[in-house]
Amino acid sequence: MSAALQPRTEIRNMSNRDLRGVSAVEQASYEFPWSPGIFRDCLLAGYQCLVLVTDGDVSGYAIMSVAASEAHILNLCVHPELQQQGFGRQLLNALCTRAQAMGVERAFLEVRPSNDAAMNLYRSAGFEQIGVRPSYYQAHGGREDAVIFAARIDEALRETGETDAR
């Protein structure tokens, strides 16, 4: 009888040495990916930048800006081969836990309405749709709207099973 091996994972702060792996995940995940320079700029700006490392390789990341008592989740991504395994939820939990420790009360984000997995993740984590940004995303044949979500950090942590700052 053999048990399936679970990958060794950790979530840690992103550094410059992670940028190649982060860019590879971004390229594998999106038709209109961020450039490597955008990720570098996020690090330089002091944004909260996390990486998911699986068996030694960058397999996901999350980026959040914080101002006053609000957070803006700018990007959260897991490599397509590892999606639907709870890693996105782990990254979201890590961001929300960090936001709570920084005194953040609410988080906002935008997501493509065509990204069903992300829409379901955010809804299940207590995020609620509060609006739409018309023609926000580049898309084949034009533009795609963005759905705007918001959540109270304490409620998001409660929904995902996390209740205290780490």
Report, as residue numbers or ranges, the catalytic residues. 110, 122
CA–CA dist 32, 34 (Å, integer): 7
For the beta sheet containing 48-54, the strands, ordered from the edge strand earlier in sequence to the opposite edge, are: 9-13, 48-54, 57-67, 70-78, 106-111, 142-152, 128-139
Q: Across-strand partners of 108?
A: 72, 150
Sign for the CA dihedral angle at 132, 135, 137, 143 comes to positive
Rounded Cα distance, 105 and 29, in Å:
30
The answer to whether the beta carbons of residues 96 and 128 sit under 8 Å apart is: no
Nearest Cα neighbor of 30 from 38, 47, 65 is: 38
